[in-house]
Amino acid sequence: MYAAFYGKLVPHAPLTELSQDAYSLFYSRSAAMGWLTPAVEGASGGVWGMNDAEAGPALTPRPDPVAWFQVTLTEPAAAGVLPVQPFLACAGDVMARLGTLRLEAIQVLMPGQDTPADGDFASPSSMRVARPLLASLNWFGDCDPRLREPARVTLDGGPDPQVTAAAPAIARWIREIRQDVFACDSYSLADDDHLVLRPTALHGQPGAPHHRVTFHGTLTEWSLDALGWLAAFLADISSRHGASTPLMLTADRTGAPGTPAG
């Protein structure tokens, strides 16, 4: 998995003067929470191995990430749920150690998943969702209504058209499943609706076609917690509709001033 944060980072102190950097902090926090698989032969436990990380204020006016984190999953997703929430939580803890982050947009690359074999019923029409996603919904049940944020969320399937073919069904499930994290108002396959922060070769060769769908709606709160849940949720329901290839989720606050343009 890979995550990039866009926005403004105000360090507590010059980053060059700190004893720890984004890599070492992410490694330590992952280990402390039991999420890190030790990099030794035959190691067990944890859910990811450390790959790389970097953080620092953006140096150009164009949308560049102020931090990025990359890990390799070492265990199958528990009950079919990608560990995006703990991944972003760990990254968020690192950013809080380094300074104050104003998050304007986020990208998350998620590996492909096989179609889940089961799940809990989550709608009157018998739609199924992975159990851990539903079990965690109470966490968001009493969010302050004043924190609700209009948001634009794009799923990019790279050169594979599965995600665009599944878009109508994904949108219907977002609306009908009993969850309050993201209320979807509309979706679009039009290129000018998508948030593309920078070219990426994560899906095929540079210049290859990208198949994207964008959902417009409202998040219960603009937080890494809610975004992590939503990313795992979208990956789960996408795989249930045949989109089993890696997906890049990109999200921004459409109601926030200074948001990067698509």
- By the 8 A CB rule, do 47 and 37 touch? yes
Average pLDDT over residues 191-215: 71
- Closest by Cα among 186, 182, 248, 247 to 218: 182
- pLDDT at position 206 over 80: no
* Domain spans, the chain: 2-253
**What pLDDT is recorded for position 64?**
78
- pLDDT at position 253 over 80: yes
Does 211 or 79 have the greater pLDDT score? 211
Give the distance from CA 149 to its chain's centroid.
16
Average pLDDT over residues 233-254: 92
Give the distance from CA 85 to its chain's centroid.
8
Average pLDDT over residues 11-27: 92
- By the 8 A CB rule, do 215 and 233 touch? no
pLDDT (tens digit, 9 = 90+) per residue, 21-62? 999 999 999 999 999 998 888 778 899 999 999 998 765 656
What is the residue type of 22?
Answer: A
